[in-house]
Structure 1
Amino acid sequence: MDFHRHLFLAAAVALLLADGFVPATAASLGAGGFDPSRVVQLSWRPRAFLHKGFLTDAECDHLIALAKDKLEKSMVADNESGKSVQSEVRTSSGMFLEKKQDEVVKRIEERISAWTFLPPENGESIQILHYQNGEKYEPHYDYFHDRNNQALGGHRIATVLMYLSNIEKGGETIFPNAEGKLLQPKDDTWSECARNGYAVKPVKGDALLFFSLHPDATTDSDSLHGSCPVIEGEKWSATKWIHVRSFDLPVKQSGSSDGCEDDNVLCPQWAAVGECAKNPNYMVGTKEAPGFCRKSCKVCAE
């Protein structure tokens, strides 16, 4: 369960790949593999990497075809209740695929896991998004501000954003807090929105990987990001959110108001192997933000 190991490994692998390191097993990954030589480091604050040609044109077209007739108005998570609500902050349309919907989707899922070095079971299903003229997603964080959404899978560690179409103008992914935002040259082909941070242009087949948590599992405020309004054309993308632990594990919801119940059925098992000390932020938490395994960590009386 030690998701610190996953964070450290993912960070170390990203560093090696950005420096041109090609693992000996890359060729053995088969249809689900990826090409490390196409990975470019964009930023360390936040940690962001671009994989050029992550998807083939045929794969992009296939994902769009799966989603085209099933799109619904996109939602956002309410910061207080954790419930999904409609908001002008996010004006796109979207839908979720099944993880094993078909062989193409399964192959892409395998490729994402191979690139990120994060377990496939920690990921949500891929979400297909469609942005038309003027549609956008205001800057936001992919980690959660409420405990309800953390109950299943915990915080989101990382996001893989795959671009399924080219776009004439606009629709850039922007990081307003990125350390290198003032150093990125931008000409007239960039939208006005893209000038407000480090930006990535949508290119069909490319994929952007960025981390929402630091290697010590604390949230990264530099990971603030958004989708600039589409000015010309339309934008199709596919998003894969990856959590600190399995997104499919059964979760026992706490019925106690004093935080003296475990919120996950695996808490006793994790506590027995020392996770209370290894991962105190998640297991124990603080007075303001109680952890998920306080009973098993024997801190309920504190």
Structure 2
Amino acid sequence: MTAAPMKIVFGLLTLVTVGMIIGASFQLAFIRRLEDSYEFPPFRKLQGSQNDGYLQLPRGLPHLDNDKEARVLRIGYVKPEVISWSPRIIVLHNFLSMEECDYLRAVALPRLQISTVVDTKTGKGIKSDVRTSSGMFLNPEERKYPMIQAIEKRISVYSQVPVENGELIQVLRYEKSQYYKPHHDYFSDTFNVKRGGQRIATVLMYLSDNVEGGETYFPLAGSGECSCGGKMVGGLSVKPNKGDAVLFWSMGLDGQSDPNSIHGGCKVLAGEKWSATKWMRQKTTY
């Protein structure tokens, strides 16, 4: 190769490298801005609210703007809606703030990998066409960050399961035509129950807007029909609205695994579906 083409190649490689460094710097700066601004700010305006546009607290409750605990738990924001008792499913509207959703996405984006499923024979993660998303797990150090601690405490209070019984949060991205076929969250192998016991509950949090399809589908819940990836099917489904969460139990009140808790992620028709999953165990996981 002559000197001139080598200079061109070297110049292109330099531009690509510089571009990657600049992109990573912007991503890091965005994450840090979110972290720095997360000081449990006072309650803010809610879209679609009445009167002056500010959150209307229930009558008889004191004003909670200066109550840090109330802010962590998003008292007055989170609105639980029971949609099924068998299996037990609750939609937690406004469970996450928009900043929390954006933060989880920003932290996850550079570390996404092809998702895996649990091999029932070995208990290890394997690639499968049952699940076509990409994802990552937060690490134990990130669990100490204020924003993550606030989310985990909120999950613990609403699920009534201790924080230490929770697995690390997993963040997932489903692109167009991606899905997760119906499955159970409880383990069918003995390998995974050695640390922390069986999974008893799941909190699935939605992190993105403007998604067509991508519903969370419970085929054995309810007695009617619902939309799943553009098709009408039997069961119940939950639309992935940014900030909402679905809390459901993999074990019944009798302490046994509940086969009716089978669920799946419907095919995404347009946009990107981002979610964060927290699995809760019978015993401490760390």
With normalisation by structure 1, the TM-score equals 0.69
The superposition leaves residues 99-153 of structure 1 with CA deviations (integer Å, 9 ceiling, x where unpaired) of 5252111111111111111100000011000000111110000000010011111
Q: In the alignment, which residue of structure 2 is the partner of 1:86?
A: 127
For 1:87, give the aligned amino acid: S
CA-CA distance at 1:159 after TM superposition:
0.2
The SS at the match of 2:81 is strand
Matches within 5 A, 1:88-167: 88-99=129-140, 100-167=143-210
Which structure has the larger Rg over C-alpha atoms? 2
The SS at the match of 1:109 is helix
Q: In the alignment, which residue of structure 2 is the partner of 1:273?
A: none
Q: In the alignment, which residue of structure 2 is the partner of 1:222?
A: 260
CA-CA distance at 1:167 after TM superposition:
3.5
For 2:106, give the aligned amino acid: A
Q: In the alignment, which residue of structure 2 is the partner of 1:246?
A: 284
Q: In the alignment, which residue of structure 2 is the partner of 1:200?
A: 238
Which structure: greater strand fraction?
Answer: 2
Give unpaired runs (5+ residues) of structure 1: 1-20, 249-302
* Residue in structure 2 matching 1:174, options 204, 213, 217: 217
The whole-number CA distance in structure 2 between the counterparts of 1:245 and 1:145 is 17
CA-CA distance at 1:58 after TM superposition:
1.1
Give unpaired runs (5+ residues) of structure 2: 1-57
**Off by >4 Å, runs of 4+ in structure 1:** none
Q: In the alignment, which residue of structure 1 is the partner of 2:70?
A: 30
Q: In the alignment, which residue of structure 2 is the partner of 1:61?
A: 102
For 1:227, give the aligned amino acid: G
Q: In the alignment, which residue of structure 1 is the partner of 2:3?
A: none
Q: In the alignment, which residue of structure 1 is the partner of 2:82?
A: 41
CA-CA distance at 1:169 after TM superposition:
1.2
The whole-number CA distance in structure 1 between the counterparts of 2:159 and 2:232 is 26
The SS at the match of 1:69 is helix
For 1:138, give the aligned amino acid: K
The whole-number CA distance in structure 2 between the counterparts of 1:193 and 1:219 is 29
* Residue in structure 2 matching 1:51, options 92, 97, 100: 92
The superposition leaves residues 45-77 of structure 1 with CA deviations (integer Å, 9 ceiling, x where unpaired) of 110001111111111011100000100110110
How many pairs were matched up?
223
The superposition leaves residues 160-187 of structure 1 with CA deviations (integer Å, 9 ceiling, x where unpaired) of 0000012331100000111x141x565x
